[in-house]
Homo-oligomer: A and B are copies of this chain.
């Protein structure tokens, strides 16, 4: 009992350190993270933090994994809101929530998808499984919609470049993905599109030209979905 409570305290402090780290990054950029700054905010000396993270790189890794998981959890939660057959509504909802999460958590988004932090090298075996989650969710959604006949097969994808088709095939087999290569391609293609929209919006390149960035994002994904024959009966 006592041991558990000490462990709980330890985990609590680990969490508090991450929370303060995120606040600091929000103020000074992802590269502005600093152990001493966190220690100051926690009213503790800097060496104390080494009880909780072996180094600042360990802390950054924890923040990155958390960010991927937080994004994936948010998408999963939205996904769970829809009945089994509502392919179009589900996809629309999840893509809208993807953007909303990025705008609500710009630092976490930059941490996983923006400029790398100088001097930091991510331990790929730790970050990659988390990084896969958001991507795989969208891939599964598209794969199920196609399998259920709810989505138009994009004819262009019959003529994918050989180098790409064979790579995806091999990668897909190795990872045990249950969706066809064309759907994986479509997932990366669509993901790139929302990624560009979100990145440009996040760094205020879109707004001066378009005005209403949310309407822009929405119109873009609706157009994209219509091309796939995925038409929600109603948009929220």
- A residues with a Cβ closer than 8 A to B are 28-32, 110, 113-119, 131, 135, 156, 160-161, 163-164, 166-168, 171, 184-185, 188-189, 191-197, 199-200, 203, 205-206, 208-212, 215-216, 218-220, 223, 226
- Tallying the copies of this chain within the complex gives 2
B203 touching A192 by the CB < 8 A rule? no
Task: Report the Cα distance A47→B84, complex, angstroms.
Answer: 67
Contact A212 to B161, CB < 8 A, known contacts A196-B195, A200-B192, A223-B156 = yes
B31:A167 contact, CB within 8 angstroms: no
* CB <8 Å contact, A212 and B29: no
Give Cα A161–Cα B168 distance, bound, in whole angstroms: 37
In contact, A31 and B118 (Cβ under 8 angstroms): yes
A117 touches B163 (CB 8 A): no
A sample of 20 inter-chain contacts (CB < 8 A) reads A28-B118, A29-B118, A31-B31, A31-B118, A32-B118, A113-B205, A114-B203, A115-B115, A135-B209, A161-B212, A161-B218, A163-B215, A164-B215, A171-B208, A188-B209, A188-B210, A189-B220, A191-B200, A192-B206, A194-B196
CA distance A219 to B28 in the complex (A): 39
B residues less than 8 Å from A119 (CB atoms): 28
State how many angstroms separate the Cβ of A148 from the closest Cβ of chain B.
Answer: 24
- Residues A212 and B113 in contact in the complex (CB < 8 Å), given A194-B196, A200-B192: no
Distance of A203 Cα from B211 Cα, bound (Å): 28
Known: A110-B115, A195-B200. A188 touches B164 (CB 8 A): no
